[in-house]
């Protein structure tokens, strides 16, 4: 209503509502190399498959079902959230905006939507947590080659009031990214996106000189330690000795992996292909969701990301059985376009579209969405 009223006065909205216009705004703000990194996804076949899988699902509206009051809230790991929405962990946010993760943290806190702090954040988790008060946040871990370092990151996350740990499994190696290769662009080598390490006592103890005096050595150590491809199900269990927080496995795509995660008692999974950034030619993530939900059979929470661009996509993911959805690139476009206000506006728009779509398909509660809403 505000946007329509502003339109009457001849004012443009703070950020575009159309998602392609928002992305174009971010591109103009960021410049080609940084925007290339944000978009980068091989030849984009997987990113396209993510959209195709969501577009192939169709909602079937029902009429006359009294949707005057609609409930969007959901429970995750003992917290009631205002909507089944989280901000996905996204690294190197300084590429989008100088306030980076701090702007995102403030926007997330203002809406009560959990921010998942990235392992590759531009601002360490402690100042972000401090900016969020009691608002919900989670921490995402890339398991480094040093278990002591992984443990330190997890313990810091618990101390910073995180409600859950997300272990991202799909990035034990960095995917083939021709756009970044052509641009010669890897931000970590410049010391960008390694704030969690630079502030970590275990990491600092591994360096001859403090990162403040020799950032290049810190960046080089980071690239040596970064994510361990020899990680397996057995080693993953060590995390239970480091924390009592719920542990969510991100990057699950095969129903057999979803079943194993539930068999082993992991608390949740994120069905995700990292927004198509890792395996070019991989299957569209939304196409895997229903089979993974079946395999888990209620034994763990199921989250979803990769391709969510608006509220109708959220409705589809929930109808396929997800408990909640992680929003990825769109909030970074908002961050690039207008900082904290941009992130908040993107969250508001997704939730507003979710609410409208829910009502218009004849459903009054996100918890009761199911197959009957899909064509
Ligand atoms: C990511 N993603 C990601 N995931 C993660 O677990 N840790 C991270 O540090 C990052 N960093 C990151 C940077 C950038 C620039 C992007 C675009 C993505 C993946 C992210 O959490 C999520 O899975 C995807 O963004 C979902 O895909 P869409 O919806 O953005 O296409």
Single out the residue of 93, 137, 94 nearest to residue 113, CA to CA.
137
d(CA 97, CA 339): 6
- pLDDT value at position 2? 84
> Is it the case that residue 300 has pLDDT exceeding 80?
yes
Residue 85 CB contacts under 8 Å (≥ 6 apart), including other chains: 113, 314, 324, 325, 326, 327, 347, 350, 351, 354
Rounded Cα distance between 28 and 188, Å, is 23
36 lines ligand 1 (CB under 6 A): no
Q: Which residues pair with 76 in a beta bridge?
A: 79
Which atom from ligand 1 is nearest to the alpha carbon of 140? 6
Grade residue 5 by pLDDT with cuts at 50, 70 and 90: confident
pLDDT tens digits along 317-363: 999 999 999 999 999 999 999 999 999 999 999 999 999 999 999 99
pLDDT per position as a tens digit, 76-87: 999 999 999 999
Contact 195, 124 (CB under 8 A): yes
Q: What was the ipTM of the complex prediction?
A: 1.00
CA distances from 304 to 44, 213, 347 (A): 19, 41, 16
Rounded distance from Cα 315 to ligand 1 centre (Å):
20
Residue 1 binned pLDDT confidence (cut-offs 50, 70, 90):
confident
Ligand-binding site membership of 65 (annotated):
no
Q: Is the CB of 305 under 6 A from ligand 1?
A: yes
Are 32 and 331 a contacting pair, CB within 8 Å? no
- Whether 81 and 314 have beta carbons less than 8 Å apart is answered as no
Please work out whether the CB of residue 140 comes within 6 Å of at least one atom of ligand 1. Answer: yes
- Which atom of ligand 1 has the smallest separation from the CA of 120? 9
Can you list the alpha helix ranges (DSSP code H) found in 85-230?
100-111, 125-132, 147-159, 178-183, 195-198, 201-205, 215-225
Ligand 1 pocket check for 284: Cβ under 6 Å: no
The 8-class DSSP code of residue 60 comes to -
Q: What is the CA radius of gyration of the chain?
A: 20
For ligand 1, whether the C-beta of 38 sits within 6 Å is: yes
Question: Element (H or E) spanning 253, and its range?
Answer: none
For range 53-73, the mean pLDDT = 98
197 among annotated binding-site residues: no
Residue 86 backbone dihedrals phi, psi, to 5 degrees:
-130, 160
| 58 in a known ligand binding site | no
Q: CA 122, CA 60: separation in Å to the nearest integer?
A: 42
CA-CA distance, 248 to 217, in Å (whole number)? 32
On whether 18 is known to bind a ligand per the annotation, the reply is no
CB 273 within 8 A of CB 51: no
Burial 245-258 (b: 16+ CB within 10 A, else e): bbbbbbbbbebebb
Q: What is the C-alpha to C-alpha distance for residues 317 and 320, in angstroms, rounded to an integer?
A: 5
Quote the pTM value. 0.99
Q: Which of 125, 153, 317, 328 most suits a substitution to test ligand 1, by most atoms within 8 Å of the C-beta?
A: 328
Ligand 1 near 194 CB (within 6 A): no
> Which residues, other chains included, contact 50 with Cβ-Cβ below 8 Å and sequence gap of 6+?
273, 275, 276, 284, 285, 286, 306, 307
pLDDT digits (tens, 9 = 90+) for 30-60: 999 999 999 987 789 999 999 999 999 999 9
CB 313 within 8 A of CB 328: no
- How far, in Å, from the CA of 4 to the mean position of ligand 1? 33
Atom 3 of ligand 1 has which residue's CA nearest to it?
90
Tokens 């300084």 belong to 94
Distance 28 CA to ligand 1 centre (A): 20
Give the residue numbers marked as catalytic. Answer: 274
Mutate to test the pocket of ligand 1, among 41, 52, 90, 308 (most ligand atoms within 8 A of CB): 90
């Amino acid at each position: 209503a505000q946007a329509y009223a502003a339109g009457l006065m001849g004012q443009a909205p703070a950020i575009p509502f159309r998602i392609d216009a928002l992305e174009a705004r971010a591109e103009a703000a960021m410049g080609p190399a940084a925007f290339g990194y944000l978009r980068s996804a091989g030849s984009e076949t997987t990113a396209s498959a993510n959209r195709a899988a969501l577009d192939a699902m169709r909602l079937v509206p029902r009429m006359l079902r009294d949707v005057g009051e609609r409930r969007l809230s959901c429970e995750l790991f003992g917290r009631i959230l205002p909507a089944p929405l989280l901000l996905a962990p996204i690294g190197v946010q300084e590429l989008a905006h100088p306030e980076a993760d701090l702007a995102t943290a403030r926007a997330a806190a203002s809406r009560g939507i959990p921010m998942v702090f990235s392992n590759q954040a531009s601002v360490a988790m402690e100042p972000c947590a401090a900016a969020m008060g009691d608002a919900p946040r989670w921490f995402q871990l890339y398991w480094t080659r040093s278990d002591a370092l992984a443990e330190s990151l997890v313990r810091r996350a618990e101390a910073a009031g995180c409600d859950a740990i997300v272990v991202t499994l799909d990035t034990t190696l960095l995917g083939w990214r021709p756009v970044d290769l052509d641009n010669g662009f890897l931000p970590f080598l410049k010391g960008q996106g390694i704030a969690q390490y630079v502030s970590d006592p275990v990491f600092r103890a591994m360096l001859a000189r403090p990162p403040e005096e020799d950032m290049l050595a810190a960046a080089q150590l980071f690239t040596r330690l970064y994510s361990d491809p020899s990680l397996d199900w057995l080693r993953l269990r060590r995390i239970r000795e480091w924390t009592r927080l719920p542990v969510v496995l991100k990057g699950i795509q095969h129903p057999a992996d979803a079943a194993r995660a539930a068999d082993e008692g992991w608390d949740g999974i994120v069905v995700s292909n990292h927004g198509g950034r890792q395996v070019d030619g991989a299957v569209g993530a939304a196409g895997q969701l229903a089979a993974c939900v079946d395999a888990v059979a209620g034994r763990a929470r199921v989250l979803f990301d990769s391709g969510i661009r608006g509220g109708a996509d959220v409705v589809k993911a929930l109808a396929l059985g997800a408990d909640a959805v992680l929003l990825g690139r769109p909030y970074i476009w908002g961050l690039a376009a207008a900082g904290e206000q941009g992130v908040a506006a993107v969250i508001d728009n997704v939730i507003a579209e979710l609410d409208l779509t829910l009502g218009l398909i004849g459903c009054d509660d996100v918890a009761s969405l199911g197959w009957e809403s899909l064509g």
